[in-house]
Structure 1
Amino acid sequence: MAVPQVVVVGRPNVGKSSLFNWLARRRLAIVDDYAGVTRDRLTTLIEHDERYFELVDTGGMGVEDADNLTADIRSQIDAAIDSADVILFVVDIRSGLVPLDEEAAERLRGIDRPVILVVNKADHEKLDSEADEFYKLGRGHMICVSTKQNRGREELLELIKERLPEESGAEAEEEPRMKVAIVGRRNVGKSTFINTLVKAERMIVSEVAGTTRDSVDVHFELDGQRFTAIDTPGLRRRRSVRTDLEFYSTHRAQRSVRRADVVLMFFDAAEKTSKVDKQLIQYITDNHKPVIFVINKWDKLQGQIPTERWVHYLHAQFPTLQYAPIAFITGQTGKNVKALLNHAQMLFKQSRTRVGTGQLNRLIHAALERNPPPMYQNRRPKIYYGTQVGTEPPMIVLMCNEPEGFANNYRRYLLGVLRDHLPFGEVPIKLYLQKRPHNEGDEPNRPPKQARAET
């Protein structure tokens, strides 16, 4: 199963980033009294009592950004809440209950996941009685903590652990329905492709760009396998998004990517890639989704240019996604569509695969011997062991002596080794490098308590 996510939310300046650093025991997020410092989501891996979860920091709810990034910050917060398994709703006991706290509570009103109300800056027990007014928010179990005085950390971690989803000891007997998001800019043939899949005119197909305004789920079966195809609106450049309808279409398309197990990124065979394509692929990459590049309308160019030219072109445009498969189809006639869906099913299985610790460590040690990491501060960085802690995407933790000693190019080398020799050849891998605590021996039996992610 995927590693659960615990998301930190709240209005600006309640100490969300301080709480994030405090729980991680490392200074990862920027802490400043200026509202709106945190914009993008920050993520780190936490272990407590043999349970693992990703802790996610978010921007302040209700902040008006000085650089006109308010909509982007709000989108990042919404994405984090959508993916959350547990929510930490942070308030400030010293400033008391303010209207922005009530607005944040209203945003969480319809969320059906566990919420823990974290009353921060309660530096001593005498302040705890002042927290009673926060009961008005009506959200979750309340706990008073102080990041400055290191008060309540273990109790908060225990509350989080109790609310994490139950671990599944084995995969479900019945294969889950794979969700495939079909994305791309306008008029690349996404709806025609879905109509071909289900052999019915479920989507409105038109030569007028932008016909599909909302994301629509279509359920179907192919060779006994169940699928859900998510048709999404065609996206356009941000500065061209002028209406509320177009804004929410973009938001829903992004949400469809987050919901999907595999993303089919559509291109028109007769057109070059655009800035919109690059923005979409960056969003897919940021969300660690398996992706297939789909060159649609190939019948228009078949025999005129070789497929290798498109392959080289896409590799040059998106060098970090060399592992992503590339399919050439004609959605209108159905040519190669079945093979595309079968390949998507393969990626889905790859993303859900687990490998044994022994197999993983033999591979890591062989990679280290074949190509040792460069010296760092007059000593060579070491990796003691590795383990896979989650799936969808595969998440691997490497325990080492100096995480900073492994440069980006060496991390990419390790990812390449994992992708070449493990059953994750065509999907994203989350790789965390973590410093081993001093009280652990050379052969620890479990992974680290904090980590830095690479993909």
Structure 2
Amino acid sequence: MLPRIVVMGRPNVGKSTLFNRLAGRRIAIVDDTPGVTRDRKEVVARIAGRDVLLVDTAGLEESAPDTIPGRMRASSEAALRGADLVLFVVDVRTGLTPSDRAFAQWLRRQGKPVLVLANKAEGRQGAANSLEAYELGLGAPLPVSGEHGDGFGELHDEIREALPPEPEVEEEEDDADRPLRLAIVGRPNAGKSTLLNALLGEERMITGPEPGLTRDSVAVKWIDETGKPVRLVDTAGLRRRARITQALEQMSTAATIAALKECEIAVLVVDAVQGMDEQDLRIARLAEREGRAIVIAFNKWDAVEDREAARRRVEDVLTSSLAQLRGILVVPLSAATGKGVEKLMPTVREAYEVWNRRIPTGALNRWFEDALTRHQPPLVEGKRLKLRYATMPKARPPTIAIFGTRAELLPEDYRRYLVNSFRDAFDMPGVPVRLNLRGTDNPYSEE
């Protein structure tokens, strides 16, 4: 098990900037707005020559447990329980605050190794200002700058000394044991974080009736009921582009789209009471354009009165507006009560198998010949197109390459016919299918 390093401190002291700098890439959203980070974020990073699990947390604030800051603090305290080392961040520009002193006193009682990072300590004056942090009673503060990278060499050395001894090297994971990458996407307040908590069986993500609680994409490693690893990513809700005005929300949207590009399966969470609207369809089309398999989690199913009518409505919308994902799998469930949640992962695994399936060339060309026999290619410019053979160069998503004379001129309606015929022949519902058309050159065309 990798040693766990947890970054903590009050809001807006630069925890996420330090986290990104230590991780070696931009993972957490950084903005001048206090409280941008609301859920803890984890990443495997190489620090001081060792692989560690680095954890970014929400800002520590004194608030009632039922408020958003109170829930953020509870999430940070939960991260602390498994920490091997705590990086307690203070801001030397503003100086120590009563909150810094109170949380330092609380940290001393936890019995965890702590390094005090005096952040924003650029230049000589910043290093001098960092000396104030001695009075926290947590040891000598390290003057660093997360924005500029000052002091990170010494920080790596201090982390190396503070971590527990390195265990014996274990064998690397087999490719078959790589985690399934799963992104949970949808509109704001559809129940994405509640669904992630229901899958994990713990209050991992902050939830509540307030829309937009999740502002960043948060990845969690998990072992499902089959004993196989899964990398779950909870994302911020995607709104229509015209409604995205603040820079912070633009960054949240960019992080969600990046998570969608990196995943293998996208679980689209839809509010079953409101039904699928145009924004849900936009998100599904975005996932399809990225080549991701999609499973629809029809959430809040327990609150639907006429369930047959709700099923018919979603089927009609999918048939009329998502024809390119015909047969997409839908799982009615209630993330709040847990009812039906146990059906989601088997459905996800089923979609993954379809998305990852490769068809042998012989079977593919038998289908191709039959499809051409049933409906001949159309005339283009008075000449019939001659399609010769098909191959499947890749899966993930299923991709068909068709070769023939002037194949690239094949009309869109005949392309759709081939894709739908392929889906039916090989039972591939609900996944994107790519069709690549490759024409053959005529050696006498220049003559």
| Range into which the TM-score falls when normalised by the shorter chain | 0.5 to 0.7
- Which of the residues 230, 253, 256 maps onto 1:253? 256
Counterpart-to-counterpart distance in 2, 1:267 and 1:176: 28
**Residues 219-253 of structure 1, C-alpha deviation per residue, up to 9 Å, x if partnerless?**
11122122111100012222222222101000000
**Aligned match for 1:372, one of 353, 362, 376:** 376
Q: Distance in 1 between matches of 2:198 and 2:339?
A: 10
2:428 counterpart of 1:424: yes
Match of 1:273 in 2: 276
Counterpart AA for 1:351: W
For 1:40, the equivalent position in structure 2 comes to none
| Unmatched runs of 5 consecutive residues or more in structure 2 | 1-173
In structure 2, what is the equivalent of residue 350 of structure 1? 354
State the Cα deviation string for residues 4-23 of structure 1 (Å, max 9, x = none). Answer: xxxxxxxxxxxxxxxxxxxx
- By how many angstroms is 1:304 displaced? 4.9
Q: How do 1:229-378 and structure 2 match up within 5 A? A: 229-306=232-309, 307-378=311-382
Q: Which residue does the alignment assign to 2:141?
A: none
Q: In 2, are the aligned partners of 1:237 and 1:275 still within 8 Å (CA)?
A: no
Residues 325-361 of structure 1: CA distance to partner in whole angstroms, max 9, x if unpaired? 1221111122222222111111112222211111111
SS at match of 2:297: strand
CA–CA distance in structure 1, aligned partners of residues 327 and 188 of structure 2: 25
State the SS of the aligned residue for 1:174.
helix
Residues 243-266 of structure 1, C-alpha deviations (whole Å, 9 max, x = no match): 221010000000111011011111
Cα displacement (A) at 1:278: 3.3
Tell me if structure 2 keeps the 8 A contact 1:311–1:326.
no
Offset at residue 436 of structure 1 (A) = 1.8
Q: For 2:217, give the aligned amino acid.
A: S
Residue identity opposite 1:179 in structure 2: R
Give the counterpart letter for 1:188 in structure 2.
A
Q: Distance in 1 between matches of 2:241 and 2:327?
A: 28
The list of structure 1 runs, each at least 4 consecutive aligned residues, that deviate by more than 6 angstroms after superposition, is none
Go from structure 1 to structure 2 and tell me whether the alpha carbon gap of 1:175 and 1:308 turns closer, same or farther (over 3 Å shift).
farther
Q: Do the aligned residues in 1 keep the contact of 2:325 with 2:429 (CA within 8 Å)?
A: no
Amino acid at match of 2:266: V
**1:290–1:347 contact (8 Å) kept in structure 2:** yes
Deviations 1:407-448 (A, max 9, x none): 111110100111111253331111101112347xxxxxxxxx
Q: Deviation of residue 402 (structure 1)? A: 1.6
Residue identity in the other structure for 1:380: R
Q: How many residues end up aligned between the 2 structures?
A: 268
Among 173, 195, 210, which residue is 1:193 paired with?
195
Q: Distance in 2 between matches of 1:232 and 1:399?
A: 40
Instruction: Among all aligned residue pairs of Structure 1 and Structure 2, give the percentage whose two residues are the same amino acid.
Output: 30
Task: Name which one, 1 or 2, has greater alpha-carbon Rg.
Answer: 2
Cα root mean square deviation, aligned = 1.8
Superposition TM-score, scaled by structure 1 size: 0.56
- Aligned equivalents of 2:281, 2:313: Cα separation in 1: 19
Kindly indicate whether the alpha-carbon contact (under 8 Å) linking 1:212 and 1:233 is maintained by their aligned counterparts in 2. Answer: yes
Q: Normalising to structure 2: TM-score of the pair? A: 0.57
| Aligned pairs (5 A) from 1:3-82 | none
Aligned positions of 1:15-164 closer than 5 A? none
Distance in 1 between the 2:396 and 2:237 partners? 26
Q: In the alignment, is the contact (CA less than 8 A) between 2:198 and 2:336 conserved in 1?
A: yes
Q: Give the partner amino acid of 2:237.
A: G
CA offset digits 1:138-193 (Å, max 9, x no partner):
xxxxxxxxxxxxxxxxxxxxxxxxxxxxxxxxxx7624311111111110101000
How far residue 320 of structure 1 moved from its aligned partner, in angstroms, is 3.0
Letter in 2 for 1:268: D
Contact kept, 8 Å, 1:291 with 1:427, in 2: the verdict is yes
Q: Distance in 2 between matches of 1:332 and 1:411?
A: 42
- The higher relative CO (CA closer than 8 Å, separation ≥ 6) is in 1
Give the structure 2 partner of residue 406 of structure 1: 410
Please give the alpha-carbon distance, in whole angstroms, between the structure 2 residues aligned to 1:175 and 1:360: 29
